Amino acid sequence: MTSCKSLGECGGCDYIGRPYEYQLGLKQSYINRLLEGICPVDNIVGCEEPYYYRNKVHAAYKRIRSRVICGTYSKGSHRIVEHGRCYIENRKAQEIIESIRDIAEKHKMSIYDERSNSGLLRRVLVRVSEATGQIMVVLVTGNKYFTGKRDFIADIISRHPEITTVLTSYNSRHDSMILGRKAVTEYGKGYIEDVILGKTFRISAESFLQVNSHQTDRLYSAVIELAAVGAEDNVLDCYCGIGTITLTMAPLCGHATGVEINPSAVADAKANARINRIKNVSFICRDATEFMLEAAGKGRGRRPSEGNDPIVSARELSEEEAERNKVPPVDVHYDLVIMDPPRAGSTSSFIRSVAKLAPEKVVYVSCNPETLVRDLKMFASHGYEAVRAIPVDMFPWTENIEVVSLLQRMSNTSKKTITFDVDMDIGK
């Protein structure tokens, strides 16, 4: 990477000035060391396009004397770093963010000030789909009343007619959350669409999606490879988000169920099933651990009904309807559980519940190798052995890495306890 002028200030990248192959070597060694004695590790899946890969970009705005600046917060602080050109953020998104700064100057717009908790323009979020060319802009404000909103947005669209939707989000909180509680559509459909492994997905402002579109195909291909599902298998996808993995697996199995706590993401997941004309799926709006505890308490993979059970938002299907729609009847054994938890990892309650449901396989997608190791250790104590791991470099130039692991259920006679020491330093 060409030297970045924000080196040492931004803190977003860890490997500026290092060859990309060198980074991959460090990450490979780190995961090998981390999972030594636990399971074999494949060669890391590198990124063919390691520059400008972030499809989701956000910036904070601030007025310094007579000038408006925009950029990212320096790591661990609320000091805005004007980096101008970022080598990992989508170039079009950067261009739009800088244009909005200039338009704010033109309109003499008040800029949010954290100390006084006053001002209008606070942040901007841009999401870009390279596959469809669609672009979303979210204007995050520190005030409910957006004076001159119509003219301001019209100027943005005039400057960038490639933008397909604009939303506003009022955020009065003093935490790290970018968006407020609700995003309001001001222009366009209120969402964009992207393509993953040939399927189209609707993405709302609040929805989670992997930030590296090119590597997402490779990440989910690794999930498919390790899952190796059969045509009659029943799959449970926990922490499913907008249903990307659920809907990727559905054409390969008998039925796929996605569980997600975010109502907006579940709404997108259901819409994505309709967009892709996939019928052998269902989505449940519930905390993953709560759902697993409920399911484990009812039996091996029981699919609960709406009437007496709050887990499922859709009514229970009869066996005849289930056959017609390729949805399994209520009492069903899950052959595979897929889990893609947040950085904090899963919970001991969730893992115990998985063991009680007794699927033959578990595929664990982790964005934090440290919590992955902890969770693999818990799985081992409950009869599941990690047999293979595939590291995928989703975040070039940073220390972050995703790992997809396959766990298989052991017989009672072969259960074992794994103990190991972990060196969490990836190195530089």
For the chain, the structural domain boundaries read 56-192, 199-414
Q: What is the pLDDT of residue 323?
A: 38
Structure-token match 């007619």, residue found: 161
Q: Which of 10, 86, 238, 367 is catalytic?
A: 367
Could you tell me if 336 and 362 are in contact, meaning their C-beta atoms sit under 8 angstroms apart? yes
Q: What is the pLDDT of residue 191?
A: 96
Instruction: For residues 237-258, give the mean pLDDT.
Output: 96
- CA-closest candidate to residue 249, choices 275, 274, 226, 215: 226
* pLDDT surpassing 70 at residue 325: no
Task: Identify residue 175 by its one-letter amino acid code.
Answer: D
- CA-closest candidate to residue 30, choices 384, 372, 416, 345: 372
Q: What is the pLDDT of residue 308?
A: 31
> Domain 199-414 sits in which CATH superfamily?
Vaccinia Virus protein VP39 (3.40.50.150)
Active site residue 367: yes
Give the DSSP letter string of 272-315: HHHHTT--SEEEEES-HHHHHHHHHHHSTT----TTT-TT-SSP
Instruction: For residues 51-66, give the mean pLDDT.
Output: 92
- CA-closest candidate to residue 69, choices 79, 77, 55: 79
Q: What is the pLDDT of residue 420?
A: 45
Summarised one tens digit per residue, pLDDT across range 5-42 is 666 667 678 888 889 999 999 999 999 999 999 999 99
**Region 56-192: CATH code:** 2.40.50.1070
Q: What is the pLDDT of residue 324?
A: 38
Summarised one tens digit per residue, pLDDT across range 253-266 is 999 999 999 998 99
Q: To the nearest 5 percent, what fractions of the chain are helix, strand and coil? A: 30, 25, 45
Structure-token match 């596959």, residue found: 131
* pLDDT surpassing 50 at residue 315: no
pTM: 0.85
